[in-house]
Amino acid sequence: MCAIKRKALLPNQYLLLGFMLIIGMGSMLLALPFAQNEGVDLSYIDALFTSASAVCVTGLVTVDVAATFSLFGRVVIALLILLGGLGFASAVMVFILMFSNSVAIGKYSVIKEAYNLGTMKGTIQVVKTVGLAALIFQTLGTIIEFFIFRNTHAPLQALGHAAFNTISAFNNAGFDIQGGYQSLTAYKNSLSMNLVTASLIIIGGTGFFVLADLARARSWKRLSLHSKIVLLMNTSLLLLGTLAFFLMEKTSLLSAFFQSTSARTAGFNTIDIGSMSEAGQFIMIILMFIGASPGSTGGGIKTTTAFALLLSLSSMITRRQPSAFKRKIDEISILKAFQVLLLASLVLCFGIICILLIERDGFAFLQVAFESVSAFATVGLSTGITPHLHTASKLVLMVVMFIGRVGPITIATSLRGKTSVLKYVEEKVFIG
């Protein structure tokens, strides 16, 4: 009898399976009685939602983390955030070594998929940068924030808050253990807390490829085109967001700066999101949708995608080839940008329509849209409706945040089909 030949899984399929396994294991740990505070009766759906939100580094919660989870539960959440934001590619490599014979190409391909890299070039450098950056910045962040929390907490409690907040900020997760769903509103006027947390968010959301490039080049001229685009978009979006929130919400410049930073997939807030104007919430939706940069801990369609879309539009208007910093942008990159935009829009339409149908007249359209974009872009900012959603709506949000974290392109290409060998005659179609 001949043995049945088993088809090898694609790298992106390993990625999907790995994420699902970690989310499942995390939910079972969080559902354990000693993972919860005394007297708390946590439903499994809420444990699953919390695990999915942590692994997808989203930060949306259906329960008060501080009031619900014990020290063990909080440690589990912190570890899930680390796995989801930083160490997952390494975990997948171990998974491949255990279950696959084709390691040489597979491990690099999975890293490419995990960090949304367009090429396998420099994957080992990315992994080294991930580890080094995570260790350095999270250690420094913990030390600095320890002294901030020490003003209002006992030493051990201050250390726990500092470590959890730093991990959550650097990995753009947005989880907090302040209690009462208050995030960092108590530190609204704290210059040190705002600047340290914002710095961790920016560094984590910039992308490890860019961090490695900055360490190598040490000058603007020697930076790659990718790094220049990321830095330009980061700066532009940060400034525009700060200005918009400062003018629209009549808040302090510090609060406007922090919310502009956090809206780019971090999920912390120092002002009440639910009390913001509709215009302010819509600006935040745009910032969340764009998100962070490729190869980072953040989500969204990514800054480089937004840049490619804008560049394509500019090229159409000016009738010039799409170029930036004296370099032409290839057509494949622009095509992929439109594919990402279309897939992201379809996922969000699915999520918003499903939740609206489930909740009926329970919540306003803008609230549902805000929550859905927050889930897809793995931000975690909320207008306050997530804890009150129906179980089915929570499941929809979990699917949306999962697709957003793994990437719509990765999800689409994991649905493997037979490659067509047919060739057809090309013919133009009228567009627009």
DSSP for 355-413, written as a single string? HHHHHTTSS-HHHHHHHHHHHHTT-----S-GGGS-HHHHHHHHHHHHHHHH-HHHHHH
User: Mean pLDDT throughout 408-428?
Assistant: 69
- Cβ atoms of 107 and 93 within 8 Å: the answer is yes
How distant is the alpha carbon of residue 19 from its chain centre? Answer: 14
What percent of the chain lies above the pLDDT cut of 90?
A: 52
Q: Which residue from 206, 423, 226 is spatially nearest to 324, judged by alpha carbons?
A: 226
- Cβ atoms of 175 and 168 within 8 Å: the answer is yes
How distant is the alpha carbon of residue 371 from its chain centre? Answer: 14
In degrees, to the nearest 5, what angle opens at C-alpha 63 toward C-alphas 78 and 287? 70
- Cβ atoms of 172 and 297 within 8 Å: the answer is yes
The more confidently predicted of residues 86 and 188 is 188
Q: Which residues of 227-255 are buried (b: 16+ CB within 10 A; e: fewer)?
A: bbbbbebbeebbeebbebbbebbebbebb
For the ranges 52-56, 148-152, 210-214, 367-371, the lowest mean pLDDT is seen at 210-214
pLDDT at 310: 92
What is the model's pTM?
Answer: 0.87
Question: Can you tell me the distance from the alpha carbon of 277 to that of 54, in angstroms, rounded to the nearest whole number?
Answer: 29
Amino acid identity of 235? T
pLDDT at 98: 46
User: Please, where are the H alpha helices in 273-330?
Assistant: 278-290, 303-318
- Cβ atoms of 166 and 138 within 8 Å: the answer is yes
pLDDT at 120: 47
H-helix or E-strand spanning residue 328: strand 327-328
DSSP 233-286: HHHHHHHHHHHHHHHHS---HHHHHHHHHHTTTT---SS-GGGS-HHHHHHHHH
Distances (CA, A) of 39 to 24, 36, 69, 70, 73: 24, 8, 11, 11, 14
pLDDT category of residue 213 using cuts at 50, 70 and 90? confident
pLDDT digits (tens, 9 = 90+) for 154-208: 999 999 999 999 999 998 898 999 888 888 999 999 999 999 999 999 988 887 7
Cα radius of gyration rounded to whole Å, the chain:
22
- Cβ atoms of 29 and 76 within 8 Å: the answer is yes
User: Mean pLDDT throughout 271-284?
Assistant: 92
The residues, ordered by sequence, that sit 6+ positions from 44 with a Cβ below 8 Å of its Cβ are: 27, 31
The more confidently predicted of residues 172 and 425 is 172
User: Please, where are the H alpha helices in 36-103?
Assistant: 44-55, 65-68, 71-82, 88-99
Q: Which residue from 78, 87, 75 is spatially nearest to 54, judged by alpha carbons?
A: 78
Whether the pLDDT of residue 332 is over 80: the answer is yes
What is residue 33's DSSP assignment?
Answer: G
Give residue for tokens 């960090």: 115
- Cβ atoms of 291 and 299 within 8 Å: the answer is yes
The more confidently predicted of residues 407 and 270 is 270
Two tokens at 299?
């989500």
pLDDT category of residue 426 using cuts at 50, 70 and 90? confident
